[in-house]
Amino acid sequence: MEKVEKAFELIENESIYRGFFSLSRIRLRHTLFGGGWSESLDRELFHRGRSVAVIPYDPVADQVVLIEQFRVGAMFVNGDPWLLEIVAGAFEEGESAEDVAYREACEEAGCKIRHLVRIAEFFPTPGGCSEKITLFCGIIDSRGLGGVHGLGEEHEDILVRVSSFDQAMEWLNQGRIEAAIPIIGLQWLALNRDRLRTAYSRSLI
């Protein structure tokens, strides 16, 4: 197939809701792989902006830090809307992705990141949401971690679970971890765990 020049035209962009998140109704058209242009399409777009997620990992103890919290998105689908996840949060003004990772790890899990390893950037649900996530692995010392964390002013109620790598993978294989971001993080960790243990174990002793 010949290379197709790709383009889109934004015809209308109407803000229809602004609250904790925002929602727009847009009208657009785009070029087609077979040539020409699509008809005008009406779509709703959910705005979340840029976010950061971190899977905290202790290569010396071979332990992973997971968090558990109530998620409204699972409330009408799951019998149990308390999900096992990893540390995550949105950018604040002037922050870099690394800044967000360090801050959120402290706020949500009470842990200090010693080293950051960038994993990937991706759109979790690009069919209707603008959010793009930067995912890191945070090298930590897991000793003494646990308890309940989160910011009261943000109504966060977060239980920190420090588990062995094997236990975290068992939960993943059992389907107990249902959110996409921790699934991606744990699968990456499974592929890179030996390398991380070799590279960072001595630096944490």
Question: What is the C-alpha to C-alpha distance for residues 24 and 36, in angstroms, rounded to an integer?
Answer: 26
Residue 102's pLDDT band (cuts 50, 70, 90): very high
Has residue 153 got a pLDDT over 90?
Answer: no
Task: State the pLDDT at residue 154.
Answer: 75
Look at strands 132-139 and 50-58 and give their pairing.
Answer: parallel
Burial, 192: exposed, middle or buried (Cβ in 10 Å; 0-12, 13-18, 19+)? middle
* Cβ–Cβ < 8 Å for 29, 40: yes
Cβ-proximal residues to 51 (8 Å cutoff; 6+ apart), any chain: 88, 89, 90, 91, 100, 131, 132, 133, 134
Has residue 80 got a pLDDT over 80?
Answer: yes
Residue 55's pLDDT band (cuts 50, 70, 90): very high
Active site residue 12: no
Residue 2's pLDDT band (cuts 50, 70, 90): low
pTM: 0.90
Mean pLDDT rounded to a whole number for the chain: 93
Question: What is the C-alpha to C-alpha distance for residues 142 and 162, in angstroms, rounded to an integer?
Answer: 7
Q: What domains are there in the chain, each with its CATH number? A: 8-47 (no CATH), 50-204 (3.90.79.10)
2, 154, 156, 170: which is the annotated catalytic residue?
Answer: 154
Q: Across residues 29-51, what is the average pLDDT?
A: 93
